Amino acid sequence: MLLNKLYRGGKNKKSIINAGQSIHTGYNHTVALTETGKLYGWGGNEKRQSSPTSATTPLLNVTSPFLTEVAKAETGQYHTLILMKDGTVRAIGGNAYKETDPFSSTQPSYDLTKIVTSGVIDISAGRFYSICLYENGDVCGWGFNKIGLAYPYIPSANYGTVNSYITETDKVIIGNIKKIYAGSDHVMVIDDDDNLYGWGYNSHGQINGITSSTYKKTPDGIIKGNIKKVAVGAYHSVILDYEGNVYCIGKNDYGQCDAIEANIGVSQTNLNNIIFTNAIDVAAGHYHTAVLDANGDVHAWGCNTERQCNTASSSTYFLDKENVVFSGATAIFSGSTADSTFALKSNGYIYGWGDNTYGKVTGKTNTSYYIDTTTPIMLLNK
């Protein structure tokens, strides 16, 4: 199939995002991107999701990048989605749902010379699907589409019943978008006017605070305005506005939305309920929420079975939003299928804690969880 042209047209051509000094973690693997565009991967590698050049799993003690000239990378359940600095998209890992290579049935798929699409300025990896943002503001997706994640405009009768895949990369979902966020089973996007939209699985109100419909089948209708960023978990969304206010909607079975013990198990749907203020960054894991405040302190609440919220506590859930788990951070990271949290310092060192099976936090040892927040994982300003 012919690839998309490098420039697809449109009135508002946008620039490629540069996510240097970032980390993204998935179900069992992690990828880290340095300031100069070098990409490292470690952890689970049974589908070559951590490195296309090694069949070892878990892949540990990695010393060399597997790719350079990278602008951004994200992890799905078993795949890694990669945006190059030239606007082309590559992917490695599991391909059971065409999430890695929509034009092939090869499983796994790890040919980094194959270009999935081009003219792209941003990417985001869902659990078994991928979405991209073209430079004209159009959003398209490919991969798993049983609940309309890669392309929501499918017959209503097919939702949740027909196991379908999207194998094109130019089926436009929505336009005039500048930021995209793919979660396990729902997608959130922000348009050029800072308005929030979403689609996908919505049984807990994780998209728009409305639980009456299992699926949100179209991205139409502004959910909330003045939005700076969204972090998407398994079944909850963490929303940050330009005033530093944080809102959280969706599944709340570990208190990941409101950190109130009496509400555990009750989905939170109030889009006007401010749960944190003075925030500059947010992250969402599988069932936990993390916030970075303006002082550089990291706060986290929700599921704590792997110490992802509080390294000093062994409780199943942790609900103290005021507790500081890490200080001196400039950015925070997690992933919608992850039970770990990462923090970046201004000196370029990245730190992590939480679920360390497959060595996906440390990249060195395969242990159940990791709680050392004083020893950096690696240096990213190189």
Secondary structure of the chain in the HEC alphabet? CCCCCCCCCCCCCCCCCCCCCEEEECCCEEEEECCCCCEEEEECCCCCCCCCCCCCCCECCCCCCCECCEEEEEECCCEEEEEECCCCEEEEECCCCCCCCCCCCCCCECCCCCCCECCEEEEEECCCEEEEEECCCCEEEEEECCCCCCCCCCCHHHCCCCCCEECCCCCEEECCEEEEEECCCEEEEEECCCCEEEEEECCCCCCCCCCCCCEECCCCCCCECCEEEEEECCCEEEEEECCCCEEEEECCCCCCCCCCHHHCCCCECCCCCEEECCEEEEEECCCEEEEEECCCCEEEEEECCCCCCCCCCCCCEECCCCCCCECCEEEEECCCCCCEEEEEECCCEEEEEEECHHHCCCCCCCCCEECCCCCCCEECCC
Mean pLDDT of 119-131: 98
Burial category of 111 from C-beta neighbours within 10 Å (exposed 0-12, middle 13-18, buried 19 and up): middle
CA–CA separation, 232 and 248 (whole Å): 10
Residue 13: band (very low, low, confident or very high) from pLDDT cuts 50, 70, 90? confident
CA–CA separation, 48 and 298 (whole Å): 32
**Cβ neighbours for 6, distance < 8 A, ≥ 6 positions apart:** 87, 118, 119
Choice among 152-166, 219-233, 262-276 with the minimum mean pLDDT: 152-166
Task: Write down the pLDDT at residue 12.
Answer: 62
Task: Write down the pLDDT at residue 6.
Answer: 32
Q: Which phi and psi (to 5°) does residue 357 adopt?
A: -60, 145
Task: Write down the pLDDT at residue 8.
Answer: 36
pLDDT in tens, 136-152: 999 999 999 999 999 99
Q: Is the pLDDT of residue 299 over 50?
A: yes
Mean pLDDT of 186-192: 98
pTM for this model (two decimals): 0.95
pLDDT in tens, 81-91: 999 999 999 99
Q: Is the pLDDT of residue 1 over 60?
A: no
pLDDT in tens, 340-375: 999 999 999 999 999 999 999 999 998 899 999 999
Task: Write down the pLDDT at residue 11.
Answer: 46
Q: Is the pLDDT of residue 3 over 80?
A: no
Paired sense of beta strands 79-84 and 279-284, if any: unpaired
Mean pLDDT of 8-25: 78
pLDDT in tens, 197-209: 999 999 999 999 9
Q: Write down the mean pLDDT value for the chain.
A: 94
Q: Is the pLDDT of residue 382 over 90?
A: no
Task: Write down the pLDDT at residue 267.
Answer: 96
Mean pLDDT of 257-277: 96
Task: Write down the pLDDT at residue 86.
Answer: 97
Q: Is the pLDDT of residue 227 over 90?
A: yes
Task: Write down the pLDDT at residue 158.
Answer: 87
CA–CA separation, 245 and 327 (whole Å): 20
Structure tokens that stand for 62 in this block: 């990695």
Residue burial 18-57, b: 16+ Cβ < 10 Å; e: rest: ebbbbbbbbbbbbbbbbeebbbbbbbbbbbbbbbbeeeeb
CA–CA separation, 125 and 337 (whole Å): 11
Mean pLDDT of 161-180: 95
Mean pLDDT of 61-68: 97
